Amino acid sequence: MGLTMCEGKFVGRDEIAMVPTPIATASWRPVPHSEVIDAVTDVVKTHRWTILEEQYGLARDRQRMFGMIRINKSSSMEWSRCIGIRNSHDRTIAVGLSAGISVHVCSNLCFGGSTVLKRRHTSRIELNGLVLEAVNALELEFLTLENVAEELKIDELNDDEVRASLVVAAERQASGDSIVRYSDRLEGVQTSPA
């Protein structure tokens, strides 16, 4: 899973549930960290998905929560669907969800995936509706990603296409380790004569 820690610490759901939520104002309504997690897991269970793995963290005096849920609903054994979660009590960032077959969430609350949904902590925030709407929208996104990934597995590349891809990766300054890992895997890729 793509949970990165640059500050703070990894914690369990029990510790997150003990984080106090600040008092709301007329225009700002903080959402308890545990409510965000519960809303997502409730919708996941409603869709009859099984949670395979959960990982959470707290940063900035427990004012920022971030996490990742990996679920089993997938047509492939090679990947699983992931949902990234973030929330803050210090008014710095909106409650958000990201989703994809590869999701990255950092303790600085930067996150990304194929889909990213965010809502500000306004007095009108309705968390359960937001999460239900988001997960319903993500279902189509997951299916699209999985179909593309399956299609990519059967694409044949000739040697020149493989070399061109490596050159583009190098030009875009992809890390050397990822290029080496990619080129090491090329032995298993079906290639056709140039």
pLDDT by residue (tens digit) across 158-177?
888 878 877 877 776 654 44
Shared domain for 98 and 136, answered yes or no, is yes
Shared domain for 40 and 121, answered yes or no, is yes
Shared domain for 17 and 66, answered yes or no, is yes
Domain residue limits at 89? 2-151
Number of structural domains (the chain) is 2
Q: Give 11-66 pLDDT, tens digit per residue.
A: 999 999 999 999 988 888 888 999 899 988 988 888 888 898 899 999 888 998 98
Shared domain for 146 and 166, answered yes or no, is no
Shared domain for 145 and 166, answered yes or no, is no
Residue reference for tokens 């003990």: 18
